[in-house]
């Protein structure tokens, strides 16, 4: 693989990515393993949405960046049950609700909270044993259970594609997620109103945008290799 963006500053990389995004698509800068000074550089050029995949790391960075009070924090990693309460307290968004049991846990915890994060359900359009999340058929089976979670603010679907797909396969998989969100919204008569599509990373965000992504989660293209 070549690295054409090597040598660019974080500001220049952000500019390059931002130019490719339609105005309605939110850029979430994924800062796992990225240092606080680099996060500040991103903030200085206008980034306000940051994504982390571990609660401990998110907590540490939040406390170091307390002075930047208008940051929106997104949790994008697998959430362990024992960290669920912390995640609710710390995050505006949790993109990675990946099982009915986690959804039920968050629902119980959310009953006592004034602040309820916005949630995405993590779905695998294609089989991928190395990833968390529902398969399409599992999600359809769990819809009834999800609808019983009355305290959750479920806003959309999230996906991570398996490695090694061709460009047409990437586009097709992202389009499948979009269609699935519309199907579920219609089937549940908007009880689950899945308007947000969190999809696309450094390697595939162009196709995610084409398929209607509302949020892209980009790390390496902004900060370089971790």
Ligand X SMILES: *Cc1c(COP(=O)(O)O)cnc(C)c1O
For ligand X, the binding residues (CB under 6 A) are 30, 32, 53, 76-77, 160, 201-203, 217-221
Q: Give rounded-to-5 percent helix, strand, coil for the chain.
A: 40, 20, 40
User: Closer CB to ligand X, residue 83 or residue 217?
Assistant: 217
Residue 27: both structure tokens together:
């850029």
Q: How far is CA 85 from CA 23, 52, 64, 133, 216, in A?
A: 33, 16, 21, 20, 25
Sign of CA dihedral 13, 16, 19, 20: negative
Nearer residue to ligand X within complex by CB, 176 or 224: 224
To ligand X, the closest distance from the beta carbon of 187 in angstroms equals 26
Q: Which is nearer to ligand X, 38 or 143 (CB)?
A: 38
Q: In sequence order, which ranges of 112-217 are alpha helices (DSSP H)? A: 136-147, 167-187, 205-210
Q: Which residue has the tokens 């390059």?
A: 16
Residue nearest ligand X, CB atom distance: 219
Can you read off the two tokens belonging to residue 200? 């696309």
Angle at 224 between CA 219 and CA 226, to 5 degrees: 75
Which residue lies nearer to ligand X by CB, 32 or 116?
32
CB 220 within 8 A of CB 8: no
Query: Cβ of residue 116: shortest distance to ligand X, in angstroms?
Result: 21
Q: Shortest approach of ligand X to residue 112 CB, angstroms? A: 28
**Tokens read off for 24:** 């309605």
Taking the complex as a whole, the smallest distance from the CB of residue 85 to ligand X amounts, in Å, to 21
β-pairing, 134-135 with 118-124?
parallel
Least distance from ligand X to the Cβ atom of residue 87, Å: 14
In the complex, minimum distance from the CB of residue 120 to ligand X, in angstroms, rounded to a whole number: 11
Q: Considering beta carbons, is residue 143 or 201 the nearer one to ligand X? A: 201
* For ligand X, the closer CB: 212 or 219: 219
């Amino acid at each position: 693989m070549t690295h054409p963006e090597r040598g660019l500053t974080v500001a220049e990389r952000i500019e390059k990515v931002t130019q490719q995004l339609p105005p309605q698509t939110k850029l979430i800068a994924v800062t796992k393993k990225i240092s606080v000074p680099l996060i500040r550089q991103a903030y200085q050029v206008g980034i306000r949405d940051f994504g982390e995949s571990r609660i401990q790391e998110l907590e540490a960075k939040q406390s170091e960046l307390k002075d930047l009070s208008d940051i929106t924090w997104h949790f994008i990693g697998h959430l362990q049950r024992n960290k669920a309460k912390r995640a609710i307290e710390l995050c505006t968004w949790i993109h990675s609700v990946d099982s009915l049991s986690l959804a039920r846990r968050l629902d119980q915890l959310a009953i006592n909270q004034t602040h309820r994060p916005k949630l995405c359900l993590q779905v695998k359009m294609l089989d991928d044993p190395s990833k968390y999340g529902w398969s399409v058929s599992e999600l359809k089976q769990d819809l009834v259970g999800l609808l019983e979670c009355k305290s959750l603010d479920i806003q959309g679907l999230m996906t991570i594609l398996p490695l090694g797909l061709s460009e047409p396969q990437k586009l097709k998989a992202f389009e499948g997620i979009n269609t699935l969100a519309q199907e579920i919204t219609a089937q549940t008569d908007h009880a689950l109103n899945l308007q947000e599509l969190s999809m696309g990373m450094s390697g595939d965000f162009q196709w995610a945008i084409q398929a209607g992504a509302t949020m892209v989660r980009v790390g390496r293209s902004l900060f370089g290799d971790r």
